[in-house]
Chains A and B, each alone.
Chain A
């Protein structure tokens, strides 16, 4: 069973451009979480999605950031008009529905996308 996939692994953007980060959850997982990791910091929660629904976006900046998890295809984290402060590692995690073989409480992480804004 393939793990959580994220692409690209590294992304360089100039200020004002758009960044699109993709996450394919583990097979059979219907819950996706996005986290951001700044240097010398732990991971900070951004958004929690199920298929076609945003469940909790309390960690998302109010402007320029959006996320989706369509019925078909990967989850997308989109950052419009990037600024230098957006430079960070962005991690996606997935989990199955709670009650599925006792693993619904566990999040499995992808390798991350490292965004650099010039």
Chain B
């Protein structure tokens, strides 16, 4: 069965510091991978996606993620955190490609200290 594990339910960084949010997946077929961000009391906004093209994917707001098949990982990074990055981040996998449901991790809440 496909699954997603996000290490660390809470991550705290200082403004200007590196952001690293971890995501590992399990999938028996080449997956599509996604990162979404959720601000309080709002829906999910797509940050970036991997769909079997380039392994380093750039998204919105300066975020990027690298697909590493050997490590079954898709970690999200941003070189310099901004206060506005404080939110909850969800990694998701869509096994088997195009249509079909997403399987989400439990999320990581990012706090940014001034």
Contact = CB atoms under 8 A, between A and B. Distances in A.
Interface residues of A, number: 29
Contacts, number: 64
Helix, strand, loop or mixed for chain A's interface? Answer: strand
A31 B104 contact: no
Contacts of A112: 42-43
B45 A109 contact: yes
Interface residues of B, number: 27
Interface of B: 4, 9, 32, 34, 36, 41-46, 49, 51, 90, 92, 94, 97-107
A105 B102 contact: no
A70 B44 CA distance: 25
8 contacts: A4-B43, A41-B106, A42-B104, A43-B104, A45-B103, A56-B100, A108-B46, A111-B42
Nearest to B9: A40
A45 B103 CA distance: 7
